[in-house]
Structure 1
Amino acid sequence: MATVHHWTGLEARALRQALRQSVRAFAEHLGVAVATVSKWESKLADTEPRPDTQAILDTALGRADASVHLRFETLLSEMSDALPSAGRRITASGPRAWEYESWADDLDRAVVALSRQNFAFADNLLGRWLTRFKALELDDKGLYLFARSTAMLGDLKRDQGAVLGPLSAQHSYARARQVFTQLGIPRRVAQLDLSLAVVAEMSDKLEIAARQYETLAVDNRLSRRDRARSRLWVGTALSKDGNHDYAARVMLAATRDFEDLGEVDDWSVAHQKLALAHRGTGQLDRALHFIDIARSTGVIDSPMQRVRLDTAHGHILLSDPATRDDGLRVLDDAAKLAAKAGLSHQLRSIESIRMMTEGAAGPRRR
């Protein structure tokens, strides 16, 4: 638990706010005069409680529960940042067990936030821990939480379209991979290799991505589901590179794996990918067949899933002059949702599809 070596009005105010008490209630809680607490509040680090009151404050902090301790340290850190001369009088040797529990809870909340593309909330949940501790001061459990947080930050950056650079998905994934390697957790390392392959694909390094996916598709460090995903993404990279026939065969094998595993969501996504591969070969009837399966079975409870599915559907419709206007309307709706959700990578993909279509078919009719 946190301890304070020497109390000033600054630490006393942080404790009052952490307890969520008014000045009067805090004074009654400690058994001191309201005027005394008011003096601490006004002078902060420039005043010190008497020795007997220091002991009372020690007792009050010691009896507080874990949530109060977490709020106390957070508030004190913020106050100390605002008053550099005050410094921090709190001692800590890395996070405590109750902080690990709070950290894990925040990671669970961040997973939900990311699934809904609530990027600001997810970033706040992850940032409060990644900025709070340095990797060097953590034990193995703390390092595991640190690496998971960093990997999830990579997911956030990837979904926002920040793929390359110092504040990108690639940077976060590489950092998380380094920590999981240090901890000796090969499954997590392989999952980060898979995420880095996705980054390569999103950066249009299609040959590199395909080779990485092929290696991971037979990597026993990964679960069968992740190996099937790797196989599906081999097909995605091949299709983007124009090798649609082979891509469709690879994707079909992945689809059968998902069916055997009972992974309905992955099975639906595979049909979406198959649809685009068949669009590439000019088999529009097959493409529409597979995209209809994806649309009828896919989960669309998040903006990302809706945008991806509508983008694929619009792309297929645009390939037929008879349904071109319908395709443009579908893409317009997808673009509006992508813009609203902050999905910049999807917006770029939609704009690329529009430009290719207009180049092939002339300006859009008004």
Structure 2
Amino acid sequence: MATVHHWTGLEAKALRLALRLSVRAFAEQLGLAVATVSKWESKLAATEPRPDTQAILDTALGRADASVHLRFETLLSEMGSPGQSADRRRVTTSGPRAWAYESWADDLDRVVIALSRQDFVLADSLLSRWLARFRTPELDEKGLYLLARSTALLGDLKRDQGSVVGPLSAQHPYVGARAVFAQLDIPRRIAQLDLSLAVVAEMSGKLEFAARRYEALAVDDRLSHRDRARARLWVGTALSKDGQHEYATRVIQAATRAFEDLEEPEDWSVAQQKLALARRGAGDLTQALYFVDIARSSGTAASPMQRVRLDTAHGHILLSDPATRDDGLLVLDQAARTAARYGLVHQLRSIEGIRAKSEGPTGPGKR
């Protein structure tokens, strides 16, 4: 919720517009003369209400609902945009910008939740609201941090949608966010973006490059223990995709132990799934089914993305055995329906690739 530390005519006009009231109706609601409100609107930041009137405006804003607060903050930001008077810019920079930052941070928390549920429409709407509002030269350090975080989340959104190559891919916002975090000198965030860029490289088929980057980041002190363990897991993933299944198994098992020590059940479950695929690639279908069953029964597949990944892994393993081929196709069909429903393009491509390969010679370990 916005809080005004010092009212001028500018903030008063923004509140009237946010409440969607005429000058007369606004004056009546506040118990003031129409001429008083008209004076505020004509002089804006050049006039200040009396102390008792400031308290009345505080009360009016405090009683307003969340939608009014959002419109109020947006109006103040627009009134202080480039091209307006110096007085207006001064007011927006010293006061309203702080309130906008608070709403911006709240919206980014909502974006994280939306992405965890693969609600891409909501996430994109929230991010677009802020990425289109400010230009980099306008922002102080807090604003630049929020800009970089927003840009990184845009990269996550595009990556989850399967956009990993081309000018509108995840790579572009990741590179942009990394540059801003470098400007702010925040090493941990820079390393996290390096990790995200390695994931994009792996998803686009650059397995050897991705494996090298993961190996370097797995021992990078800028990252948390959890992120370093994730890097080790993704080393194994890249190795498995490259056909080095035995080596991948050992690397993934080490990451699994790290997640267990860190008490990270979701990452531990993902590691079991990756371990299952490595064993499938090695031709050990018994172990592959064992590990995928552990992943499926761990109870952490709450998001559509993880459900699709688990079903895809399970279907891939079942499809590798002629005796369970039909079951595998059914599981893949279920994964494809969920992926299509949530717009998980990369997962759909993976499922289509698995189906296409299954039409040729099949058997344990065949890709």
Q: What are the within-5 Å matches in structure 2 for residues 115-194 of structure 1?
A: 115-194=116-195
Mapped to 2, the partners of 1:109 and 1:61 lie a distance apart of 32
How much is the aligned-residue C-alpha RMSD, in angstroms?
3.1
Number of the residue aligned with 2:198: 197
What corresponds to 2:16 in structure 1? 16
Letter in 1 for 2:325: R
Q: 1:29 maps to what in 2?
A: 29
Shift in CA distance, 319/32, structure 1 to aligned 2, threshold 3 Å: same
Measure, in 2, the Cα distance between the counterparts of 1:17 and 1:235: 57
Counterpart in the other structure of 1:313: 314
> 1:98-137 CA distances to partner (integer Å, 9 max, x unpaired)?
2221111111111111100111111111121111112222
Match of 1:240 in 2: 241
- 1:359 aligns to 2:347 (yes or no): no
Whether the 8 Å contact between 1:6 and 1:54 is mirrored in structure 2 is no
Does the CA contact (< 8 Å) of 1:107 and 1:149 recur in 2?
yes
**How many equivalent pairs are there?**
339
In structure 2, what residue type is equivalent to 1:54? S
Per the TM alignment, residue 146 of structure 1 is displaced from its structure 2 partner at its CA by 1.1
From the superposition, tell whether residues 25 and 249 of structure 1 become closer, same or farther in structure 2 (CA, over 3 Å). same
Give the Å deviation of 1:93: 3.2
Q: Which amino acid aligns with 1:223?
A: S
AA aligned to 1:359 is: G
Q: Is the 8 A contact 1:15 1:61 kept in 2?
A: no
Q: Could you tell me which amino acid in structure 2 is paired with residue 143 of structure 1?
A: L
Matched, 1:286 2:280: no
Give the Å deviation of 1:224: 1.2
Pairing 1:99–2:100 present: yes
Between the aligned partners of 2:290 and 2:125, the Cα distance in structure 1 is 42
2:303 is equivalent to residue 302 of structure 1:
yes
TM score, norm. by length of structure 1: 0.83
Which of 202-211 and 295-304 deviates more? Answer: 295-304
Asked if structure 2 preserves the Cα contact closer than 8 Å seen for 1:279 and 1:316, the reply is yes
Tell me which amino acid in the other structure corresponds to 1:224. H
Q: Distance in 2 between matches of 1:256 and 1:114?
A: 27
Relative to structure 1, the CA distance from residue 61 to residue 359 in structure 2 (aligned partners, 3 Å threshold; closer, same or farther) is farther
**3-state SS of 2:134 partner:** coil
Scaled by the length of structure 2, the TM-score of the pair is 0.83
More displaced 10-residue stretch of structure 1: 166-175 or 55-64: 55-64
- Unpaired runs of 5+ residues, structure 2, are 363-367
Give 1:19 shift.
2.1
Check the 8 A contact 2:8/2:40 in 1, yes or no.
Answer: no
Equivalent position SS for 1:360:
coil
Q: Which secondary structure state, in structure 2, belongs to the residue aligned with residue 276 of structure 1?
A: helix
- How far does residue 6 in structure 1 lie from its aligned partner after superposition? 8.4
Q: Secondary structure at the match of 1:295?
A: helix
User: Structure 1: which 5+ residue stretches go unaligned?
Assistant: 37-48, 82-86, 362-366
Letter in 1 for 2:189: R
Q: Could you tell me how far 1:54 is from its partner in structure 2? A: 3.3
Residue aligning to 1:43: none
Residues 27 and 224 of structure 1: CA distance in aligned 2, closer, same or farther (over 3 Å): same
Q: Compared with structure 1, are the counterparts of its residues 52 and 352 closer, same or farther at alpha carbon in structure 2 (3 Å cutoff)?
A: closer
How much has 1:260 moved relative to structure 2? Answer: 1.1
Q: 2:272: which partner in 1?
A: 271
Partner of 1:72: 72
The CA deviation string for residues 328-353 of structure 1, in whole angstroms up to 9 with x for no partner, is: 00000110110010111111111011
Q: CA deviation at 1:88?
A: 5.3
Distance 2:210 2:356 in 1: 25
Q: Does 1:208 align with 2:209?
A: yes
CA distance in 1, matches of 2:33, 2:248: 75
2:18 corresponds to which letter in structure 1? A
Specify the alignment match of 1:54 in structure 2: 42
Q: Structure 2 vs 1, CA of residues 322 and 79 (structure 1 numbering), >3 Å: closer, same or farther?
A: farther
* Paired residues of 1:231 and 1:254 also in contact (CA < 8 A): yes
